[in-house]
Amino acid sequence: MPYNELRKDYLLDRWVVIATERARRPTDFSKPKMESAKPALCPLCAGNEHMTPPAVLVYLPSEAGSVRKTEEEGDFRRKNWVLRTIPNLYPAFAPPKDPADADHVMSNLSFGNAIGAHEVIVESPNHSDHPADADLSQLTYVVNAYKDRLNELSQKSYVKYVQIFRNYGLEAGASLSHAHSQIIATPFVPTIVAAELAASKTYYNQHGNCIFCDLIKQESQSPRAILDNAHFAVFAPYASVNPMEFWILPKRHTSNILSLTNEETEGFVQTLKTTLKALKDLVNDPSYNYGIHLSIDKEAENYYHWHVEIYPHLAIWAGFEKSTGVYINTVAPETAAAELKKAAKYR
Amino acid sequence: MPYNELRKDYLLDRWVVIATERARRPTDFSKPKMESAKPALCPLCAGNEHMTPPAVLVYLPSEAGSVRKTEEEGDFRRKNWVLRTIPNLYPAFAPPKDPADADHVMSNLSFGNAIGAHEVIVESPNHSDHPADADLSQLTYVVNAYKDRLNELSQKSYVKYVQIFRNYGLEAGASLSHAHSQIIATPFVPTIVAAELAASKTYYNQHGNCIFCDLIKQESQSPRAILDNAHFAVFAPYASVNPMEFWILPKRHTSNILSLTNEETEGFVQTLKTTLKALKDLVNDPSYNYGIHLSIDKEAENYYHWHVEIYPHLAIWAGFEKSTGVYINTVAPETAAAELKKAAKYR
């Protein structure tokens, strides 16, 4: 190959240089992870419920072995739980203090109030129940909590988008090491999501298809394919901006996770666990971020397709990336996919 | 303040939440910097010229106390230098291997060859001559090298943009700790720069003024002002996405650094040193990136205005930022400006 390749994202005007001359292999990134040691007193661990604000959602073990949502106000600080969701103590976005405030959100083009919500999903009473290692039943509670909170937050008049995401490891911004996800509801559709919506709408109008449905067909046959099961496809995107980046897409076209069936939920947590475990094994437990891209806009139902983008934290975006919005990736997505595919196979 | 503020960038569709409830003060960020110890054998130090590719530019001390550029091919590896610029050993963008390749660049909308250039400016023979501490005369060589390389690279038919940037500290992506800057020439105008150009052009057409000229007037009178001298203004931008971010803008309207006079160059290096030293003193020598935003497009001369954006590395962009393109900044730009202004005053 005489030159490094420049590649554009499927949807975004986002370019990446696949800098293969450096020819990094996944194992080159193996290094001792910066450990955030388990604190003496973790506010998210079972028994320390008094250290957090009262929960907005609690799952309790039921006699039948499944869970039930708590309905009693007093239960929001109870101790016997399998999952709880709490407001963030320092919310970036907060609910309106006065109902009238909700209507005036974002009327101006250059500033507004950060009205919305910011919550923490405590995924397990056990400190280290991260997705690569947790039981599938525990991960099912997590995805159900994503659905429950999305369902409630997306009905608020002042909420235009709900970002569900997860930070794992100190280097990826997880200031607490207890297994948790976060949800931020915003009063506008954020930049990247808005660009994805616009581009997928254009594609739909031109081709009569969902671009993500077409991508699943195309990339499952490509050297970027990682995993393919009854309900989900996993591949390394053509213009990955992160080394070892991969995306998980549902095969059934739907714009968000609210309509996930039990069987699909099961397939999703299995896919999530398998791929994150493959990443963990391959690169010595790296830090990562993931975000669920979705739409809560009825109009987008035909053309938008929810999915998860997983960004391993293996490189630093430096002066070039921050100044230009162009990225340099030292691992070709095809290499990442081949290695992840192999690592996922033996699970 | 009942809510966190949402703010939009002057030009870009880039939003930030100023999350003042966390009320971080600059000194809260003080922590031991991850040190990249000086290696036993630094390839950029004087005497190790054989460890790098031959230079493309060398400044030599002259009898008159100033410098002269070397003109002899054999001098590109000579030892007695005050500054040298070398090709990056692992270039992200590389010059065309065949002249014909240059014409076919970026003809496709989703991929291309990474044709351009990627160079390292070794700012001093001394390992630790970083801008906060280096002599002004040494920093003047650096800015002159920026000009010399920009002048040469911008004349290539295949170059559409030249990004000059600096990474300082391991956490900001500086894999070598020797004082150095980098230059990357690209065969297209990168995303962020293209968006700035488009927005400043629109503003110019609407108002008949350069938006940056107007910003200098406005922000110099605002609580975001940091420094103001004969030739330069420094302020914390209204929608800073990084804690302690600041921008340096020339008062004379010009779209790039090529026409900088000697007096302006002197003013620039003094401003750069003063502000970077203020940051170093205030926050315990943090890692940072800076990038020079400029245009080499004749058409943009009236509406674009070169400037430097300095991004201290004090926060981690995590799942929310990477998924949405919306940022959370825990230091209000007004607080950052007040502290930097105070710290800069006593220099």
pLDDT tens, A161-181?
A: 999 999 999 999 998 999 999
- Choice between B152 and A175, residue whose per-residue pLDDT is larger: B152
Of B293, B319, B328, the CB nearest to A323: B293
Let me know if residue B21 belongs to a domain.
Answer: yes
- The answer as to whether B102 is a domain residue is no
Q: Which residue in the set B7, B193, B320 is minimally distant from A111, CB to CB?
A: B7
Q: H-helix or E-strand containing A288?
A: strand A288-293
Cα–Cα dist A252/A240, whole Å: 23
Write down the pLDDT at residue B153.
98
Interface A–B counts its CB contacts (< 8 A) at 199
| Least confident interval from A325-329, B44-48, B59-63, B268-272 | B59-63
Residues on chain B touching A318 (C-beta within 8 angstroms): 165, 167, 172-174, 289
* A9, A12, A15, A34: best to mutate for the B interface, most B CBs within 10 A: A15
pLDDT tier for residue A100 given thresholds of 50, 70 and 90: confident
Range in A38-47, A104-113, A188-197, B154-163 the model is least confident about: A104-113
Whether B128 is covered by a domain: the verdict is yes
Say if residue A107's pLDDT is above 60.
no
Split at pLDDT 50, 70, 90, the class of A108 is: low
Question: What are the residues whose beta carbons fall under 8 Å from the beta carbon of B3, sequence distance 6 or more?
Answer: A94, A97, A101, A113, A114, A115
- Sign, CA dihedral A98-A99-A105-A108, equals negative
A103-117, A128-142, B34-48: range with highest mean pLDDT: A128-142
**Residue A129 has what DSSP assignment?**
-
pLDDT given at position A61 = 87
Task: List beta partners, residue B233.
Answer: B228, B249
Instruction: Give the amino acid at B274.
Output: T
How does pLDDT run across A276-311, given as a tens digit for each residue?
A: 999 999 999 999 999 999 999 999 999 999 999 999
Domain that holds residue B75: 5-96+113-345
Work out the mean pLDDT of chain A and round it to a whole number: 92
Residue B210 has pLDDT above 60, yes or no: yes
Q: Are strands A225-228 and A232-235 parallel, antiparallel or unpaired?
A: antiparallel
A11 pLDDT higher than 70: yes
Q: Say how many domains are in chain B.
A: 1
Give the chain A residue whose CA is nearest to the CA of B95. A3
Please give the pLDDT value at position A34: 62
Mean pLDDT of B63-86: 78
Contact A3 B94 (CB under 8 A): yes
**What percent of chain A clears pLDDT 70, i.e. is strictly above it?**
92
CATH number (domain holding residue B321) = 3.30.428.10
| In-domain check, residue B107 | no
Instruction: Please compute the mean of the pLDDT values over residues B37-52 and round it to a whole number.
Output: 88
Angle at B338 between CA B33 and CA A317, to 5 degrees: 40
Euclidean distance between CA atoms A15 and A1, whole angstroms: 19
Answer yes or no: do B111 and A184 touch at CB < 8 A.
Answer: no
pTM as predicted: 0.94
For residue B55, give how far its alpha carbon lies from the nearest alpha carbon of chain A (Å). 20
pLDDT value for B64: 58
Angle between helix B262-282 and helix B333-345 axes, rounded to 10 deg:
110
Q: In b/e form, how buried is each residue of B3-17, taking b as 16+ CB within 10 angstroms?
A: bbbbbbbbbbebbbb
pLDDT, tens digit, 9 for 90 and up, residues A322-340: 999 999 999 999 999 999 9
Q: Is the pLDDT of residue B54 over 70?
A: yes
Please give, one letter per residue, the 3-state secondary structure of chain B: CCCCEEEECCCCCCEEEECHHHCCCHHHHCCCCCCCCCCCCCCCCCCCHHHCCCCCEEEEECCCCCEEECCCHHHHHCCCCCEEEEECCCCCCECCCCHHHHHCCCCCCCEEECECEEEEEECCCCCCCCCCCCCHHHHHHHHHHHHHHHHHHCCCCCCCEEEEEEEECHHHCCCCCCCEEEEEEECCCCHHHHHHHHHHHHHHHHHCCCHHHHHHHHHHCCCCEEEECCCEEEECCCCCCCCCCEEEEECCCCCCHHHCCHHHHHHHHHHHHHHHHHHHHHCCCCCEEEEEECCCCHHHCCCCCCEEEEEECCCCCCHHHHHHCCEEECCCHHHHHHHHHHHHHCC
Q: Are B110 and A8 in contact (CB under 8 A)?
A: yes
What pLDDT band is residue B72 in, cutting at 50, 70 and 90? Answer: confident
pLDDT band of A111, cuts 50, 70, 90: confident
Residue pair A8/A240 in contact (Cβ under 8 Å)? The answer is no
Q: B318–A167: do the CB atoms touch at under 8 Å? A: yes
Residue B301 lies in a domain: yes
Q: For residue A59, what are the β-bridge partners?
A: A69, A83
Inspect the interface and report whether the beta carbons of B115 and A3 lie closer than 8 Å: yes
C-alpha–C-alpha distance, residues B318 and B38, integer Å: 30
pLDDT, tens digit, for every residue of A22-69? 666 666 777 666 656 677 899 999 999 999 999 999 999 876 556 777
